[in-house]
Structure 1
Amino acid sequence: MEKDKTEVQLNYYRSKLLPYAYNIVGDSMEAEDVVQEILNKYLIRPVEGVMNIEAYLVKAVINRSINQKKLLRNRKEQYLGEWLPTPVFTENGIYSQADQKPIIEYSLMVLLERLNPTERAVFILKEAFNYTHREIAETLELQTDHCRQLLKRAKQKLQSKLRSEKKLDETEQKLLRDLSTAILSADLSKIEEILSAEVVCLSDGGNKVSAARNRIVGKVRVLKLLKAIYGKYLLPSTQIVYTTVNYKPAILYLLEKHIYRCIVFEIEGSQIKRFYVLVNPDKLQRLNTDYRKSIDR
């Protein structure tokens, strides 16, 4: 009975803590490790005199996440090509059990990489979790005025804001299907109609899988990449699944129920403005875990 009570309590805390860690770290598996580390410390050696355990754990996770992000930024210097955040399912899997509302959409997660870890934490606490400047200062143990300056600097770097969550709608799903069909049938006019004139593609294969190391800009160059993805890089018997990750439309490419590529799209109106190709297996680990669980139910 006591074990069941503890498990329920841990699941509750985990659902509250994961969005903080994931938004700050930008890597789902690293974020989960941070949360588990803090929870383990709390279980092994509970802190006496803590009036609000949840607030204590949130503060611990936030500051541990900032430190972890600093370590990741150092690792990025040795990383081949673009470093993209790990996408997560928000409709099923571990993050569907978390407090979803604060989880940031994918395109903004990419932009957040422009910020240093402290700027990122300040921006997320203010914009995603509605913290006051005083609450941010107390959490990060900084001066309130300094937090205001960090937020201002972060917004200047981003020139963006949080958007509300949404699921993949029929129009977006049709657009992705039309793109796939057009590429497979070599319908160049249809492809040009779907792609924005300034379309941009970023790919992440890390040190493990071959991928474009620099961003690709413009219809002509992007079209060459898409032809390769649906040509020589499309494995035989590939299953294509249309879904949503981080509130953005996405296509999953699976072989024997294993995701080997995920493309996340940013759509404006009826055109694709930007997309992100993830083939680094480390970045697809959480998606694969949650996908397998969803089809095994």
Structure 2
Amino acid sequence: MDAGGGIMGADNADRAVDAFVTHRNLLFTVAYEMLGSAADAEDVLQETWLRWADADLPAVRDQRAYLVRITTRLSLNRLRAVGRRRESYVGSWLPEPLLTAPDVADDIELAESVSMAMLLVLETLAPTERAVFVLREVFDLAYDEIAEAVDKSPAAVRQIAHRARAHVAARRPRGVVSPDESRRVLRAFQLALETGDVQGLLDVLAPDVVLLGDGGGIRQAVLRPVAGADKVSRLLCATQLRVATMALHRAEVNGHPALILRLNGALDTVLALRIDDGLISGVYAVRNPEKLSHLRSETALRR
């Protein structure tokens, strides 16, 4: 009897591990899009695993839906908690950048949803609105499934989804930018930075471009948004990127081409861009070292 129970227990444990590993990248992506922080997303996944390990597996009809529901609820709890913490953040808070594989860029909808620009738009949603928008628009979950995840009725979820969709539509990038167009703009931006070419920057910056910097109170960064092509171009050129100890490298960050700045060979800054109508409308400079740990290796994201 005990031996049989032990065998069954081990078999259940193996099935639990297999299911979690199968859906892990999906769960991380859900948590990351909810939180904008890889570190917080990893914490949520650890909690999800603990809940999943205690679940009655034979009673679970849809393992994917069950795991997404746990992850969503835990992400909502954490989002409400970190929202209070971000109110006292030094300077602008930017999402944690991720080094992503080329296949993320190939999935246009996924790439847009994890872009720095879209994650900043999602920051303007209330927690439940963000959860509903992400689960519906990015992961295409049914309203009934979302209702279970956020503890609302399906009718309420439909209303929340409609409201969130309209909110995001008014703020998201104005059109899908092709990878070739992104790379072209990024190359021109990089060349202008490396040569200190103010006019070259003005040629690729939108007149109303906004630069946000995130040093987290640890590294020097602009504390308030800098707006306007003239101000942004002069600020960027003033960083003296041409000195021998600094180097810019192109990389895929959050599904889009971006620049990684290294100082004396060490990772110093990530420069992600928002591109609208062929011009850079947003520059996001992440310098907080606590947010740069996921740039040492690629992060797998899945829908």
TM-score category of the 2 structures, normalised to the smaller one: 0.7 to 0.9
Q: Is 1:110 the counterpart of 2:135 in the alignment?
A: no
SS in 2 for 1:207: coil
Which residue of the partner structure matches residue 272 of structure 2?
264
- Where does residue 294 of structure 1 map in the other structure? none
Residue number in structure 2 paired with 1:46? 55
Map of 1:246 onto structure 2: 254
Q: Structure 1 vs Structure 2: percent identity of aligned residues?
A: 29
SS of 1:146's equivalent in the other structure is: helix
Which whole-Å CA distance do the structure 2 matches of 1:12 and 1:162 have between them?
Answer: 32
Supply the distance in 2 between the matched residues of 1:64 and 1:235 (Cα, whole angstroms). 46
User: Which position in structure 2 is the counterpart of 1:15?
Assistant: 25
Alignment counterpart, residue 231 of structure 2, candidates 221, 225, 232: 221
Query: 1-side partners of 2:20 and 2:155: how far apart?
Result: 35
Q: Is the 8 A contact 1:243 1:250 kept in 2?
A: yes
For residue 94 of structure 2, give the secondary structure of its aligned residue in structure 1. Answer: coil
Q: Does 1:177 find its partner at 2:187?
A: yes
Q: Distance in 1 between matches of 2:177 and 2:187?
A: 19
Which letter does structure 2 place at the counterpart of 1:260?
D
Structure 1 CA distance for aligned equivalents of residues 276 and 188 of structure 2: 16
CA positional deviation for 1:256: 5.7
Q: Match for residue 208 of structure 2?
A: 198
Cross-structure match for 2:34? 24
Q: Which 4+ runs in 1 deviate beyond 6 A?
A: 1-6, 162-167
Which residue identity is paired with 2:62?
N
Q: Which moved more, 1:259-268 or 1:137-146?
A: 137-146
CA distance in 1, matches of 2:14, 2:263: 38
From 80, 88, 91, give the equivalent of 1:70.
80
Partner Cα separation in structure 2 for residue 52 and residue 182 of structure 1: 52
* Mapped partners of 2:141, 2:17: distance in 1: 29
If you compute each CA radius of gyration, which structure gives the higher value, 1 or 2? 2
Question: CA separation in 1, counterparts of 2:175 and 2:67?
Answer: 26
> Using the alignment, how far apart are the partners of 2:151 and 2:215 within structure 1?
37
Alpha carbons 2:210, 2:282 under 8 Å: kept: yes
Q: Distance in 2 between matches of 1:281 and 1:186?
A: 26
Tell me which residue corresponds to 2:6: none
Quote the RMSD (CA, aligned, Å): 3.1
Change (3 A) 1:60 1:165: farther
TM-score for the superposition, normalised by structure 2: 0.82
Aligned position for 1:284: 292
Q: Please give the alpha-carbon distance, in whole angstroms, between the structure 1 residues aligned to 2:178 and 2:46.
A: 29
Q: Residues 105 and 163 of structure 1 are in contact (CA less than 8 Å); yes or no, is this contact kept in structure 2?
A: no
Q: Aligned-pair distance for 1:250? A: 0.7
Query: Aligned partner of 1:51: which letter?
Result: R
* Counterpart residue identity of residue 28, structure 1: A
TM-fit CA distance, 1:8: 4.8
Supply the AA of the counterpart residue of 2:257.
Answer: P
Amino acid of the residue matched to residue 255 of structure 2?
Y
Structure 2 segments unaligned to the other structure (5+ residues): 1-9
CA-CA distance at 1:141 after TM superposition: 1.8
Extract unaligned runs of 5+ from structure 1: 292-297
Paired residue for 1:60?
Answer: 70
> Is contact 2:177–2:275 with CA below 8 Å preserved after alignment?
no
Q: Does 1:33 align with 2:27?
A: no
Distance 1:127 1:69 in 2: 19
| Matches of 2:139 and 2:290, distance apart in 1 | 28
1:211 Cα deviation from its structure 2 partner: 0.8
Q: How does 1:129-148 map to 2 (within 5 A)?
A: 129-148=139-158
Instruction: Give TM-score scaled by structure 1 length.
Output: 0.83
